Structures are given as C-alpha cells and as structure tokens.
C-alpha cells in the first residue's frame, strides 16, 4: 500500500481563486493530491498507511511560488561585491541556505532569475536528487545581457541577433528551465542605464523564438524603462519583471497602450515587491538609502495600480538576494501587494499560487490543491483572507506529501 498523508484544518484555500472551504481535508498519495475539499465530501482513507496531520487553528494553502529570486546573491549591503568576489563554493552554499529560507516561508517552488554561471542549475539538481532539502527551482542560470550590461558579471554578454541566439542555445544546452534577459539596465550594476533598453525588439524576439524552439521554454525580461517594457511585450516575452515605467530622462512615463497590448498578448507582470517592502517596515529598520527610496515610491505604486486596473495578469515575486531584500521575508511581498497596491488577499494568494504556476508553465504540476497536482502544501496559522499577515506564521510545509518544515524548522 502506498503511503498516504492526510492534512486537516478548519480552512482550505485551493489556489484556483475558488471560495475557501471549511472543515477541510487534503489527501496526498504517493506525493500527489488525490482529494482536497470539505471533510463531508471526501473519502478519507484510514489505517496503518495513513500519516495524519491536524492543524486545528490553521489554513491549508498550496505551496507558494516566488516568481523572481537571485539565490546566489547575499541580500547584504554589499550584494554586488559579494556576487562578484565570492568563490563559486560560497555562492552555492549561500544559494542552498537562501532556498531553505524561502521554503520555511512556505515557498515550495521558486523561479531563480539569474546568478553566476550554472550554479543554480546544480542547486536545482541537487534538490531534485534529494541530496539536500529545498523548494523546486526553475533556473535561468545566467541572464542574457549586453556587453557591460545589467548583471554582466554573471557571465553571459551577447550583442546582436546572432549572439543572443547563441547565448540562448548555450543556456538550453546547460539545462536551464527558462531564459532571463535584461531588457533594460538595472540599479545593481554601475554603468548601466535603467531608463533605456539594452536590446531591440528584434533581438528579444530572436531569444523568444529560439527558447520556444528548444523545448518550449519561456522568457522573462527585466524591464525598468517604459521603452524596454514596450520592446519586451512586442517581442512576445512571457513575464515582464519589475515593470517600473521609467521615463528616458526623469521620473515616470505610463503607457496605457502597452498595458492594452499586454492584455491582448497574455503577457504577465511580475510584481517584484522586494525593495518595496521597506514601505511597510518600521523606519528604524531601514538604511538611509531605503528611507529615501520609500519617499519616492508613491508614483511608482500609482502606476502599478493603474497597470493592474488595466486588466493585466500579475504574479507575485520578491527579487530576494539584491541588497536588503531578504529571503526569509517572503510574506512581506504579499503584504505590500495588499496594503499598497489595492490587491485583495485572495488575489494576492492566487498570484503566488495558481496564477503563478500558470505564468511559469507548471500548472500541470503545482499551484493548486486539486487532484493530480503535487502534494505541496503551506500551513499557516489563522486566516490570511481576514489578515494577510497570517502568512508570516507558517506552521508547516509539505513537499510531495512529505513534511519538510515543521514548527519553523526544516524537517
């Protein structure tokens, strides 16, 4: 008889957007959900093969998905220097520690949006082989960037259509799950311009086509500048990371037509609420540069709200790893979405479960507690629909039906 895990709690939110179920049970057999819903409607197995878990004051959720991390980055005030100077061995061990920190937050799947070399591929494989405990990882390995471009120290510079196609082939050969491209400059890399595109539509479209040809892989694009967002959307990029709407010289520049194009083309916006978490933290926990950044966030949040109101599908992500964006603070990502972007708790939870899985192309496996998906479960104390801060109180985490976190500790 196969081992069976039975979880019970007063509440279940299944990740599809459906109303919560009371007096809930989730049944996992051989790592796969075979039943999830009200205890009244389910055949609940009993006997020696059943491992029961009761959580009388908790909510059962699908394991969370963080759609944007940098596992090998340190999140310290010197994240750039650490990423450039630390040896591979340090980066790999740091990556494992960071992945486990996310797991303790209930994140059972994360998409790593760029690190040095192929380290995140090795980390993914070690976790899959159960050499170490961690979340599922979708790895991009090195982001494709221009010569001297954003995160060029990761190791993959390419200029022009031929070179970006070759870079895409090199990444696929190395076993990446998706491609990350830096469509604009970024704040972490001195000498780049966040307000200007790095690649043309033609170059981005060539990456999209080659990634699709080589196993139907998706492409995620880092986009701060409005023109970079436009280029990425027209090129058929699957997920727009950050979506910061920066004007070419100063301030912000919202483009409603680009929002319409995102809706038409089914583009997802990945709301990397990482450094933005500073806006909901006590001021005495912030560095001076963070306090200054928070003062300027109002217009940025306004435009993200407008983007969302335009009907674009959004997903949750942290950008953890860049300076002061810590891996163990994933719940704050959801709190920023609810308190500053006017997103309901239910929609925030969907953005980190069912819709995130759909955007990442893995909704056949994870993202919802429905029969046929993997038995990944986050158990939180209280009711996150009543108060999203409940997501800070993770009681247990299951991966493939196996308890991997209990009482905040790795199982």
Q: Which is nearer to Zn ion, 66 or 319 (CB)?
A: 319
Cα–Cα distances in Å, from 7 out to 10, 39, 58, 328, 379? 11, 10, 11, 25, 9
Whose CA is closest to 188, among 156, 147, 222? 222
**Taking a C-beta distance cutoff of 8 angstroms, is the pair 230, 267 a contact?**
no
The contact mask relative to Zn ion for 88-127 (x = CB under 5 A, - = no) is -------------------------x--------------
**Under rule CB under 5 A, residue 276 binds Zn ion:** no
Identity of the residue, 5 or 325, whose beta carbon is nearer to Zn ion in the bound complex: 325
Nearer to Zn ion, 113 or 141 (CB): 113
d(CA 88, CA 67): 24
Window of 38-46, 53-61, 252-260, 319-327 that interacts with Zn ion by CB under 5 A: 319-327
Closest contact distance (angstroms) between CB of 68 and Zn ion is 6
Closer residue to Zn ion (CB): 181 or 391: 181
Pick the stretch among 157-165, 225-233, 314-322, 380-388 that binds Zn ion (CB under 5 A): 314-322
Dihedral sign of CA atoms 350, 211, 180, 266 in order: negative
Closer of 29 and 319 to Zn ion (Cβ): 319
Q: Are 85 and 43 in contact (CB under 8 A)?
A: no
> Residue 113 or residue 204: which is nearer to Zn ion going by CB?
113
Q: Give the one residue of 319, 329, 335, 376 binding Zn ion; rule: CB under 5 A.
A: 319
Query: Does residue 72 contact residue 119 with C-beta atoms inside 8 Å?
Result: yes
- Output the residue with the shortest Cβ distance to Zn ion: 319
CB of 113 to Zn ion, least distance (A): 5
- Provide DSSP, 38-69: EGGGS----STTEEEEE-TTEEEEEPEEEEEE
User: Do residues 253 and 272 make contact, with C-beta atoms less than 8 angstroms apart?
Assistant: no
Q: Which residues bind Zn ion (CB under 5 A)?
A: 113, 319
């Amino acid at each position: 008889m196969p081992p069976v895990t039975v979880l019970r709690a007063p509440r279940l939110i299944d990740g599809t957007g459906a109303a919560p179920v009371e007096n809930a049970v989730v049944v996992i057999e051989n790592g796969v959900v075979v039943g999830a819903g009200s205890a009244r409607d389910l055949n609940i197995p009993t006997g020696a093969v059943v491992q029961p878990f009761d959580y009388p004051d908790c909510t059962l959720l699908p394991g969370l998905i963080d759609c944007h991390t940098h596992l090998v980055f340190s999140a310290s005030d010197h994240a750039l220097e650490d990423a450039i100077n630390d040896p591979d061995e340090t980066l790999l061990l740091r990556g494992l520690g960071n992945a486990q920190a996310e797991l303790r937050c209930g994140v059972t799947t994360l998409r790593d949006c760029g690190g040095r070399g192929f380290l995140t591929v090795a980390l993914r494989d070690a976790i899959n082989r159960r050499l170490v405990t961690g979340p599922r990882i979708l790895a991009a390995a090195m982001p494709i960037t221009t010569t001297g471009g954003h995160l060029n120290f990761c190791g993959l510079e390419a200029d022009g259509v031929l070179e970006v196609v070759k870079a895409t082939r090199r990444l696929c050969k190395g076993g990446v799950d998706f491609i990350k491209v830096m469509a604009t400059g970024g704040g972490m890399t001195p000498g780049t311009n966040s307000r200007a595109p790095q690649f043309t539509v033609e170059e981005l479209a060539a990456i999209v086509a080659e990634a699709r040809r080589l196993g139907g892989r998706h492409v995620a694009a880092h986009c701060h500048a409005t023109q970079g967002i436009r280029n990425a959307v027209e090129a058929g990029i699957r997920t727009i990371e950050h979506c910061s709407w920066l004007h070419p010289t100063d301030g912000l520049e919202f483009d409603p037509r680009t929002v319409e194009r995102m809706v038409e083309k089914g583009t997802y916006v990945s709301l990397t609420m990482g450094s933005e978490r500073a806006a909901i933290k006590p001021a005495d926990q912030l560095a001076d540069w963070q306090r200054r950044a928070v003062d300027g966030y109002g217009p940025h949040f306004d435009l993200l709200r407008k983007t969302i109101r335009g009907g674009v599908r959004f997903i949750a992500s942290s950008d953890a790893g860049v300076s002061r964006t810590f891996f163990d603070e994933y719940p704050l990502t959801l709190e920023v979405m609810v308190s500053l972007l006017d997103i309901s708790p239910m929609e925030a939870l969907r953005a980190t479960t069912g819709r995130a899985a759909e955007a990442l192309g893995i909704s056949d496996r994870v993202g919802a507690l429905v029969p046929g998906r993997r038995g990944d479960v986050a158990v939180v104390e209280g009711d996150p629909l009543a108060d999203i801060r409940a997501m800070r109180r993770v009681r247990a985490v299951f991966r493939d039906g196996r308890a991997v976190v209990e009482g905040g500790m790795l199982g």
